Amino acid sequence: MELRRRHSSGATATATATSYYGRSRILASDALPLPIRHTNRLFSALFVASLVFLMRRWRQKIRSSSPLHILAFSEILAIFGLMASLIYLFSFFGITFIQSIISSHEEEDEEEVDFASERKPSSCALVEKPKLVTETLPESDAEIVELVVSGRIPSYSLESRLGDCDRAVRIRHEALRRMTGRGLEGLPVSGFDYSSILGQCCEMPIGYVQLPVGVAGPLNLDGREYYVPMATTEGCLVASTNRGCKAIAESGGAHSVVLRDGMSRAPVVRFPSARRAAELKAYAENSANFETISLMFDRSSRFARLQGVQCSMAGRNLYMRFTCSTGDAMGMNMVSKGVQNVLDFLQADFPDMEIISISGNFCSDKKPAAVNWIEGRGKSVVCEATIKGEVIKRVLKTTVPALVELNTIKNLAGSAVAGALGGFNAHASNIVSAVFIATGQDPAQNVESSHCITMMEAVNDSEDLHVSVTMPSIEVGTVGGGTQLASQSACLDLLGLKGPNPESPGSNSRLLASIVAGAVLAGELSLMSALAAGQLVKSHMKYNRSSRDIAGAAQ
């Protein structure tokens, strides 16, 4: 009802109901099947008519001093109608109301349990978490390997059939070795908790890849010190970032500011005509409708809070970019659930809306896109420091003017020549990827998380250097995804950012974004200095080519 009124006026949002349950009840009644809605209206009308009739009759009787208990046939009928409609309306709305309270309590309870146990991420939509049921199988691993190799047991079902994740991985590893004839000796199997990834992080595991984790720091950021874990196989990277951290620390530290914090998801829907698509665009962007849309959206999680909807059109296709805060989660699951709620809600009033995809690429996830560079995605952070001229000479082995000139010619002009999109920096992606992998972030989001413009200016009578990195789309979380795995969570713990922040949800993930930006600042300073001093090739030859490699290459 509310939604239809809103359409005709184009403006009024659901404003009458005040309580959460009241609102959801009104909105939910719109979704009821037509015959039930007609019956509801009939009984409501009967209730009102009977009540009005009886009130009038009793008023007349009181005025004419007639006894109230002597009832005419019409009054008996009205009382009967009143009772019947009361019983119907109570059984319909009262029971649904109580159910809604019970179910919402259940949802809350679920969240509480999750919160307390640092909930593991929800499973991938395509993969149901296999139930660990032991079936009658041959006793020996060798016989099961045989069954997998011959195709009589699907490899993916090993975990559920055996009820033992470690054994499943050993058997799959061996079966693959036999099927391919490849040794796989360097791919370790034991020493990893495979139950921690089951149905959540990786399917059909055959082992794990080892990556060294180095540490850069202390990074002096906003008055605190952090030791930054970096998982990488690129020699020089950690050493270089460490040198940048030293220069920052000896100059009084860096400072960061988080400008924005919101994850986005943009579904694409299609209409029979561009005019209809434009109607939904107008509706979605009308601030008067924000309350209704956010009410639907925010039901996805107690941490999801809709911030806005930005629409764009291509012909009769409409792309709606929903942005929301997601607490300490990176938030892709959360925002997707919220978007689905809104689409389900809108479908009732826009029956000609065809949902093409929950993601229409205007989000834009894991692809270089101007929308993230301009509007931001995840956390938008600026991190700055003033590096003393003396430190630049002593630690970074270069000068302020050399750095300023190089930054202009390389990071600004050079990137413009290359037609860069968010790539106005020397190597932000190096640091972002290494910290992402160490702390269990999604490494594919390095694409937009590495968007960065590095600025360098001479200050204090050209004595010192003001350096900053502006990164509009750092996508990080301290819960969900790979963050709960043992090694990754140890790295988060090193930063004091393991899991959710119970007092202030979202502050852990925002601080992690600031640390990423701070480490990028250090990395930019150091690499730019190496380039300005012409040291890059020399240091890479030292750290990237070990004597063992050189000896091997010579053979």
> Judged by CB under 6 A, does residue 423 bind ligand ADP?
no
DSSP secondary-structure letter at 155? G
Nearer to ligand ADP by Cβ, of 427 and 510: the residue is: 510
Among 238, 330, 381, 522, binds ligand ADP (CB under 6 A): 330
Q: Choosing from 141, 234, 349, 354, which is the catalytic residue?
A: 234
> Judged by CB under 6 A, does residue 329 bind ligand ADP?
yes
Q: Which of 384, 387, 385 is nearest to 465 (CA)?
A: 387
Distance CA 235, CA 549 (A): 13
Q: Specify whether 159 is catalytic.
A: no
Distance CA 344, CA 361 (A): 20
Across-strand partners of 321? Answer: 310
Please, which residues have CB within 8 angstroms of residue 300's CB and are 6 or more apart in sequence? 334, 335, 337, 338, 340, 341
| CB-CB contact of 263 with 306 (8 Å) | no
> Judged by CB under 6 A, does residue 328 bind ligand ADP?
yes
Q: How many residues does the chain have?
A: 555
| Closest separation in Å from C-beta 252 to ligand ADP | 32
> Judged by CB under 6 A, does residue 129 bind ligand ADP?
no
Nearer to ligand ADP by Cβ, of 336 and 430: the residue is: 336
Q: Choosing from 366, 397, 410, 466, which is the catalytic residue?
A: 366
The residue number whose beta carbon is nearest to ligand ADP equals 327
Nearer to ligand ADP by Cβ, of 423 and 500: the residue is: 500
Among 14, 220, 301, 341, binds ligand ADP (CB under 6 A): 301
Q: Specify whether 540 is catalytic.
A: yes
- Per-residue contact flags (x/-) with ligand ADP for residues 307 to 326, judged by CB under 6 A: -------------------x
Give, for 49, the enclosing helix (H) or strand (E): helix 34-63
Q: Could you give phi then psi for residue 73, rounded to 5 degrees?
A: -60, -40
> Judged by CB under 6 A, does residue 479 bind ligand ADP?
yes
Quote the Cα angle for 242-246-252, to 5°.
140
Structural Rg of the chain based on CA atoms:
31
Q: Specify whether 61 is catalytic.
A: no
**CB-count exposure of residue 371 (10 Å: 0-12, 13-18, 19+):** buried
Strands 305-314 and 268-270: unpaired
Among 47, 303, 362, 424, binds ligand ADP (CB under 6 A): 303
> Judged by CB under 6 A, does residue 298 bind ligand ADP?
no
> Judged by CB under 6 A, does residue 481 bind ligand ADP?
yes
Q: Which of 189, 225, 239, 195 is nearest to 210 (CA)?
A: 189
Quote the Cα angle for 435-436-439, to 5°.
80
> Judged by CB under 6 A, does residue 405 bind ligand ADP?
no
Q: Specify whether 193 is catalytic.
A: no
Look-up of token digits 């950021």: 221
> Judged by CB under 6 A, does residue 332 bind ligand ADP?
yes
Among 30, 75, 114, 354, binds ligand ADP (CB under 6 A): 114
Among 217, 378, 500, 523, binds ligand ADP (CB under 6 A): 500
Among 111, 164, 203, 222, binds ligand ADP (CB under 6 A): 111
> Judged by CB under 6 A, does residue 378 bind ligand ADP?
no
Contact set with ligand ADP (CB under 6 A): 111, 114-115, 119, 121-122, 301, 303, 326-334, 477, 479-481, 500-501, 505
